[in-house]
């Protein structure tokens, strides 16, 4: 087992197995993974900050088994920030907060390729700071169908006076985020609201949309998963890698770009690779920045 000790922000960190092929069909090693997260850090860190991280670890790479880890691994360095949260069963649990570069690198050294976080911060776990529409294509539907749904959602939300932002899931779907950042919001509000929108969408686009989770309803349609608006759920963080065959990223798109790509009709163009992600943020910065600061209130509740 190879070891390499690095120093980040004055903190020593021992990195292991850097040559391990985590994405074997693309020769993308752990060293590549660490390098990706180091370069994307300025953009991803604000979105991870103060959120209870769920690690999705792939110690033997994306083709082998993975496991979720919610609890902060017990042997974490002393400088890793943690928080106590209550689980659904009432038990207390210590979780990691990825609040700086060294913690991000430490987490990636654990081969946590995917970073999943809740819609609320650890200090206020019942206050979602955004509402999300998780658009998931069923069999025989694809990301272009998701794009159609996302564009309709955007129009609908805009009529309600709400701005929203879209990112790829890094797999087959899209995620539409409505920033709220208002302390009075509850998950009951965001759930009621997103469910109502999903029902209305399904009613008006019965051939394109379903709000039912059951697989048999999803064939050829886009499932609007409103139930993600829950304190016990997590979403893959923007800029996180995904553990697919190729190292794809959950990446924000401009609405104009989504319109154009939807018109071109090539689903592959809606996928952003790790390399593209790094060069894009260098030019455009964090397109998802507003999600963290924009204050909006849900109407009609």
Judged by beta carbon, residue 192 or residue 227, the one nearer other proteins is 192
Give the CA diameter of the chain. 59
Distance of CA 295 to the CA centre of its chain: 20
Segment contacting other proteins (CB under 8 A): 42-50, 59-67, 201-209, 271-279? 201-209
Name residues contacting other proteins, limited to 91-150 (CB under 8 A).
none
Tokens of 210: 């379903």
Based on the shown chain and the rule CB under 8 A, indicate whether residue 159 belongs to the binding site for other proteins: yes
User: Which residue stretch of 41-49, 101-109, 202-210, 227-235 sits at the interface with other proteins (rule: CB under 8 A)?
Assistant: 202-210
Say how far apart CA 125 and CA 186 lie, in whole Å.
Answer: 10
**Is residue 208 part of the contact set for other proteins (CB under 8 A)?**
no
CB of 34 to other proteins, least distance (A): 45
Do 236 and 169 form a contact (C-beta atoms < 8 A)? yes
204 interacts with other proteins by CB under 8 A = yes
Gap between the Cα atoms of 176 and 171, Å rounded: 14
| The pairing of beta strand 209-210 with beta strand 222-225 | parallel
Let me know: does 54 contact 70? Beta carbons within 8 Å.
yes
Structure tokens at 161: 């006076």
With residue 143 as reference, give the H or E element that holds it: helix 143-159
Q: Does 295 bind other proteins (CB under 8 A)?
A: no
Stretch that binds other proteins, among 22-30, 47-55, 64-72, 193-201 (CB under 8 A): 193-201
CA distance 70 to 73: 9
In the complex with other proteins, the residue whose CB is nearer, 81 or 259, is 259
The site map against other proteins for 4-43 (x = CB under 8 A) is ----------------------------------------
Binding status of residue 200 toward other proteins by CB under 8 A: yes
Which of residues 8, 13, 85, 196 is near other proteins by CB under 8 A?
196
Residue 172 half-sphere exposure, CB side, CA atoms within 13 Å?
Answer: 11
Q: Which is nearer to other proteins, 92 or 159 (CB)?
A: 159
Closest CA to 243 of 30, 2, 44: 30
Residues engaged in binding other proteins (CB under 8 A)? 152, 155-156, 159-160, 192-193, 196-197, 199-200, 203-204, 206, 299-301
């Amino acid at each position: 087992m190879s070891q390499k000790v690095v120093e980040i922000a004055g903190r020593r960190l021992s990195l292991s197995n850097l040559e391990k092929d985590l994405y074997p069909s693309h020769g993308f090693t752990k060293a590549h993974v660490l390098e990706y997260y180091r370069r994307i850090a300025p953009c991803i860190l604000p979105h991870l900050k103060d959120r209870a991280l769920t690690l999705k670890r792939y110690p033997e790479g994306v083709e082998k088994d993975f496991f979720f880890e919610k609890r902060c691994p017990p042997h974490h360095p002393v400088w890793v920030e943690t928080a106590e949260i209550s689980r659904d069963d009432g038990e207390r649990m210590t979780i990691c907060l990825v609040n700086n570069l060294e913690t991000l690198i430490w987490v990636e050294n654990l081969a946590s390729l995917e970073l999943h976080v809740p819609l609320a911060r650890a200090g206020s776990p019942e206050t979602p700071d955004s509402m999300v529409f998780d658009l998931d294509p069923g069999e025989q539907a694809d990301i272009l169908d998701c794009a159609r749904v996302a564009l309709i959602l955007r129009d609908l939300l805009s009529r309600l006076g709400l701005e929203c932002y879209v990112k790829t899931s890094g797999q087959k779907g899209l995620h539409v985020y409505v920033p709220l950042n208002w302390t009075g919001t509850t998950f009951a509000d965001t759930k009621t609201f997103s469910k109502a929108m999903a029902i209305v969408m399904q009613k008006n686009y019965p051939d394109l949309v379903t709000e039912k989770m059951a697989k048999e309803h999803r064939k050829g349609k886009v499932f609007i998963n409103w139930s993600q608006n829950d304190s016990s759920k997590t979403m893959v963080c923007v800029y996180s890698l995904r553990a697919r065959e190729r190292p794809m990223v959950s990446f924000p798109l401009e609405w104009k770009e989504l319109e154009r790509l939807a018109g071109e009709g090539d689903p592959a163009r809606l996928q952003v690779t790790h390399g593209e992600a790094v060069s894009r943020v260098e030019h455009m910065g964090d397109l998802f920045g507003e999600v963290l600061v924009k204050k909006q209130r849900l109407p009609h509740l």
